[in-house]
């Protein structure tokens, strides 16, 4: 176990933002993590546990410990007549885990292909795409309390999943380190092709016999065409959540903006695509210096090279203000700000 001082975090966040950690270390076992947390407890500064770095924006240096999660391992832990139960360590790359499941015909994650980040982040954010969310396949997770150094098991109900939300972003924020996650995956696939352009992409691919492999490839194709590769252009994927509004307010907006797209969430609420709102405010393709809004996807803020975290954050502030002024809707950031 090696602790490095004044360590650059630029290679460890997908925005490619330069930030310095006063202390930095990696852990690949629970015992190493406990040792590091014990060491960090002597500091008056908060410690930060870093996963894939795909959902974080550094706006300053970290005057404390940054601990990089490198826990690894994927295991089939149980199965019944209809399901496989698969446990994955939190440090596993999410997309590689999805591909592993597809290779073994564990169905249910194919719509979540090519989402950046690690397995441990998936329940924190309740990640979702193309009609599927983590809560749909989640069984439980194990997490270590950062101060008590005790492992606790969280069930699906205890995680209190919401839209890009969980108890780990609210009540228990910064209190636990997720160690592993167990998923319940289907032996007989339940195909979900109705969301977005999946069916059109499958038709374009000439798919006659539907499979989880084909759906995964269709999702990869769509995401690759719309979203920039963080290895080429720094970004953290979708920067804002899609806002949910009550139906009466939406109807008043629709009178002013009849082309406004929406998705019904329940009898009294609808969800409006944040990308549409941002584009209507003229931000699509905007660039100032190296901070910008992606030319194909207004939800994605990008670092074209040497933008600072403050420059990206200030851009997001201006977007929030313009959407508020034009639509009276308050967007929420999906990305964690440090």
Query: Can you name the CATH fold of 74-186?
Result: 3.30.465
289 φ/ψ sector (left φ>0, alpha ψ -120 to 50, else beta): left
Query: Residue 44: its pLDDT value, please?
Result: 62
Whole-model pTM?
Answer: 0.86
Tens of pLDDT, residue by residue over 219-243, are 999 988 888 888 889 999 899 999 9
Helix 212-226 / helix 94-103 crossing angle, nearest 10 deg: 150
As annotated, the active-site residues are 164, 238, 334
CATH of span 4-69: 3.30.43.10
| CATH architecture designation of domain 234-337 | Alpha-Beta Complex (3.90)
Using CA atoms, how far apart are residues 258 and 252, in angstroms rounded to an integer?
10
**What average pLDDT score do residues 83-107 get?**
97
Tens of pLDDT, residue by residue over 284-333, are 999 999 999 999 899 999 999 999 999 999 999 999 999 999 999 999 99
Residue ranges of domains in the chain? 4-69, 74-186, 234-337
User: Could you tell me if 106 and 185 are in contact, meaning their C-beta atoms sit under 8 angstroms apart?
Assistant: yes
Tens of pLDDT, residue by residue over 125-178, are 899 988 899 999 999 999 999 999 999 999 999 999 988 889 998 889 889 999
């Amino acid at each position: 176990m090696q602790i490095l001082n004044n360590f650059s975090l630029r290679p460890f966040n997908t925005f490619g933002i330069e930030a310095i950690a006063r202390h930095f270390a990696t852990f690949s076992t629970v015992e190493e993590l406990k040792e590091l947390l014990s060491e960090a407890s002597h500091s008056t500064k908060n410690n930060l546990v870093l996963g894939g770095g795909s959902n974080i924006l550094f706006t300053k240096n970290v005057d404390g410990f940054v601990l990089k999660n490198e826990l690894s391992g994927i295991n089939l832990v149980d199965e019944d007549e209809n399901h496989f139960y698969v446990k994955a360590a939190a440090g596993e790359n999410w997309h590689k885990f999805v591909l592993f499941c597809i290779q073994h015909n564990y169905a249910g994650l194919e719509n979540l292909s090519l989402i950046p980040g690690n397995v441990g982040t998936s329940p924190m954010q309740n990640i979702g795409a193309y009609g599927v969310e983590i809560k749909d396949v989640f069984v439980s997770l194990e997490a270590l309390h950062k101060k008590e150094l005790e492992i606790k098991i969280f069930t699906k109900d205890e995680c209190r999943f919401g839209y890009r939300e969980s108890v780990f972003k609210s009540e228990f924020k910064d209190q636990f380190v997720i160690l592993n996650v167990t998923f319940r995956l289907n032996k007989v696939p339940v195909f979900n092709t109705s969301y977005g352009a999946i069916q059109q992409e499958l038709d374009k691919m000439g798919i006659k016999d539907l499979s989880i492999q084909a759906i995964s490839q269709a999702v990869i194709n769509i995401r690759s065409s719309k979203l920039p590769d963080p290895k080429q252009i720094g970004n953290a994927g979708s920067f804002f959540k899609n806002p949910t509004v009550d139906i009466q307010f939406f109807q008043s907006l629709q009178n002013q903006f009849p082309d406004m797209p929406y998705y019904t969430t329940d009898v009294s609420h609808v969800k409006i695509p944040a990308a549409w709102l941002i584009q209507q405010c003229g931000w699509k393709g905007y660039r100032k210096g190296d901070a910008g809004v992606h030319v194909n996807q207004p939800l994605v803020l990008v670092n074209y090279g040497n933008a600072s975290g403050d420059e990206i954050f200030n851009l997001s502030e201006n977007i929030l203000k313009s959407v508020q002024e034009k639509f009276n809707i308050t967007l929420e950031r999906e990305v964690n700000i440090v």
